[in-house]
Amino acid sequence: MIGLSDTLLPAIAPGSCGLLVSVRSAAEAAAALAGGSDVIDVKEPSAGPLGAPSAQTVCAISKRIGNRLPLTAAGGELVDAVSPPEFREPDLAAARGVAIVKFGLARAAKTDWRSQYARLMAVASAHRPLPVLAAYADHQAANAPPPAEALSATAQAGSSWLVLDTWDKSPGAKALLECLERDELERLLRTAQCAGVHVVVAGRLDASAVARVAELLVKVGGGGLVGVRGAACHGGRTGTIDEAAVRQLAKTIRSHAARPPFPLRGVLTDS
């Protein structure tokens, strides 16, 4: 079974939550770091909800951040992922310091996505980074399996992380809290907690939604991360990360969490 201690992510404090900021360049990563982000996520927002960045971008960001923060990356959609033999040394895996690579489930509803994910996990048992599923709250529009099924597959595969996001990033599209009722989100988070799965909650979250999600993550006691891109940018999702915006979001999250998500930040638990 692959747990937190088997990845480059530090152990997250129970009952806490942190901030994950998605960036597209080393300069943006530096701004997110300075603003107080707890995790740096690398993606290319112009290439979709989980647009995979180039290896050069990941390596430049890894070099800029070093081991000061955990690093994750988007890998695109699972249906487009390479076969397990090729996954052993993909560009993203070669980038120093990447803890997990996120794969979305768009267009996977009528495929054997569980078996495909299990194959990637089998490879990851010996080769980092860890592949993590990204479930879409607007799963019907994405032709994806419901989040509850993604959570079940995550637990069954022995992974400790799941991403909950939205697929449709177009102007006017529904945000996560418009796709899921609060009670429904709380049930999902509690189920994840019982399964030993930490959740990154994202999906067009504005500052108000960040506060509500942080409060809920702390309430369920299982820990987790609030993921943002647009709310941390000047000019929206395709704009540029703004250090002041990140700082305000981090302050909002810490007003709800009694402790930081990574008490030993900078100490990687891969022993």
Q: Active-site residue numbers? A: 43, 102
The half-sphere exposure of 197 on its side-chain side, counting CA atoms within 13 A, is 27
Neighbouring C-beta atoms of residue 194, cutoff 10 Å? 11
Instruction: Single out the residue of 150, 184, 191 nearest to residue 167, CA to CA.
Output: 150
Residue located via tokens 């010996």: 126
Instruction: Single out the residue of 145, 139, 136 nearest to residue 166, CA to CA.
Output: 136
Tokens read off for 59: 């390596």
CA-CA distance, 264 to 182, in Å (whole number)? 31
Strand partners, 102: 74, 132
Cβ pair 258, 219 in contact under 8 A: no
Bond prior to 129 in cis (omega within 30° of 0): yes
Radius of gyration of the chain (CA): 16
CA-CA distance, 100 to 90, in Å (whole number)? 13
Residue located via tokens 């700082």: 247
